[in-house]
Every structure is written in C-alpha cells, then in structure tokens.
C-alpha cells in the first residue's frame, strides 16, 4: 500500500489502480470550500493558531486554506508529486509519514483528514501524533462515519467499503475510545459538511453513465470529525 500511495497515479487514477482518486485535481473546487468551512469551525471551537501539521496533505488545498489561521503550516505525503504541489502552499512539506518529520519538531495542531481509515495500527499512529504535539496541543481527525445514516442506508454499497485502501472503520464511540486509549483529553465533535462534485457522486453510485453538470453538492454526516488535546504537563 505504501507503494500505491507513493505513486503519482494514486491521485490521478492512472495505471488502472483500484485505489485512490479518479482525478484529485478536478476535486479542488469542492475540496477547498469543504476545508475552508471545516477550518472556520475549528477557529470557532478555539482549535487554531500557532504551528499546524497536516498528515496526508495531498495537493495542499487544506494547508492553503489554513493560511489565515496558523503562523506556520507543514504537511506530509508519500507521493513526491503531491509534495511538490503542496509545497507551493506550505512552509514545509515532508515526503513520507509522521516519521519523516524532524525528531524535535512539535506542533500546536495536527490535522489528519480521511487518513486514519488507511492506518493498519491506529494506536501506534495516534501515539506518534501525541508525541508531535506540544502539551495542550490539539489533534483533529476526520474519517468516513461508520455510524452515519448514509452507511446504514447504503449498507454494502457505502462508497468507503469499495476502497481497498480503507482498512479500519470508525463511528463516534470507537473514535472516542481510540483517543481515550492513547491518553488524549477533552474530546469533542467538529462539524464537517463535505462538498462533492455531482459527477463524483454519480461515479460512487455506479451511475457515471448519467451526464450531470459539475455542481458542488453539500452532504452532511458523511465525515465524522473529532478533536482532542494532549494534556498539559504530559
């Protein structure tokens, strides 16, 4: 899977991959408003300011939208092509995962949007994020919501089930427990309405044969976002 993530085709749908995006760049006009809305909600919740790290930053759209909210913005990604694109929008972008960051570097806020469902050892991953936070720092995780009405309505046709790189699934209870088990405190939900291009929705529903305009459609409850803090003094 690391080889798949490192391939530029993961973001462009090339080489006949079942994993990844059909064309990540074409989703920019829906991802940017999604991230802008999410970041504004983080600000209202008092979760912005200082140094930001985004794990799995893709082409850097969230890092760019985060410019008004943070003094310093860094990201990570396994794709060299993604790192090159995201570097235009950030102070620093690392090739690789959390381990690629300098040992003594610490952040006030770490964001991982639709990353955790790709992680084979979520406890180890959360401990790495914990270690990269300053005391009192916040981590914000967003995942496809296993407990959503969408998943219950679509059952086996839920799009997240169709992505072979998704290896773990979370609802509010299991994500809360993951935070608790890894010594995070003050867990809270953050609203994450998601905009999708209408053709992308048709493709997920296996209706790509239907010609539709490229409008954004806002879908609430698709993504579950939760924030938690590293306690002061730990």
- pLDDT of 149-205, one tens digit each? 989 998 998 888 988 899 999 999 999 999 999 999 999 999 999 998 776 666 666
pLDDT at 14 over 60: no
- Predicted confidence (pLDDT) per residue in 50-106, tens digit: 999 999 999 999 999 999 999 999 999 999 999 999 999 999 999 999 999 999 999
In a domain, 86, yes or no: yes
In a domain, 19, yes or no: no
pLDDT at 224 over 80: yes
CA distance linking residue 5 with residue 126, whole number of Å = 20
What pLDDT does residue 27 have?
A: 84
In a domain, 22, yes or no: no
In a domain, 196, yes or no: yes
- Predicted confidence (pLDDT) per residue in 92-104, tens digit: 999 999 999 999 9
In a domain, 234, yes or no: no
What pLDDT does residue 159 have?
A: 85
In a domain, 6, yes or no: no
In a domain, 14, yes or no: no
What pLDDT does residue 208 have?
A: 59
What is the CATH classification number for the domain harbouring 130? 3.40.50.150
Q: Domain total for the chain? A: 1
Could you tell me the residue range of the domain that residue 58 belongs to?
Answer: 28-229
| Least reliable range by pLDDT among 187-191, 205-209, 230-234 | 205-209
In a domain, 186, yes or no: yes
What pLDDT does residue 16 have?
A: 47
0.85 exceeded by the pTM? yes
């Amino acid at each position: 899977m690391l080889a798949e993530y490192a391939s530029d085709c993961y973001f462009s749908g090339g080489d006949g991959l079942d994993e990844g995006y059909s064309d990540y760049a074409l989703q920019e006009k829906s991802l940017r408003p999604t991230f802008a809305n999410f970041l504004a909600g983080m600000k209202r919740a008092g979760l912005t300011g200082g140094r930001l790290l985004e794990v799995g930053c893709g082409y850097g759209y969230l890092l760019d939208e985060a410019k008004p909210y943070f003094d310093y913005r860094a990201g990570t990604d396994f794709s060299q092509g993604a790192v090159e694109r995201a570097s235009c929008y950030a102070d620093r972008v690392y090739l690789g995962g959390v381990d690629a960051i300098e040992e003594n570097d610490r952040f006030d806020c770490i964001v991982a949007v639709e990353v955790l469902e790709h992680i084979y050892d979520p406890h180890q991953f959360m401990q790495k994020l914990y270690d990269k936070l300053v005391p009192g720092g916040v981590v914000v995780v967003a995942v496809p919501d296993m407990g959503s009405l969408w998943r219950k309505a679509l059952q086996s046709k839920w799009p997240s089930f169709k992505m072979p790189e998704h290896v773990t699934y979370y609802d509010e209870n299991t994500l809360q427990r993951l935070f608790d088990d890894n010594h995070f405190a003050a867990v809270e939900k953050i609203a994450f309405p998601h905009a999708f291009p209408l053709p992308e929705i048709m493709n997920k529903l296996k209706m790509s044969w239907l010609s539709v305009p490229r409008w954004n459609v806002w879908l609430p409850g698709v993504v579950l976002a939760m924030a938690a803090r590293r306690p002061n003094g730990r």
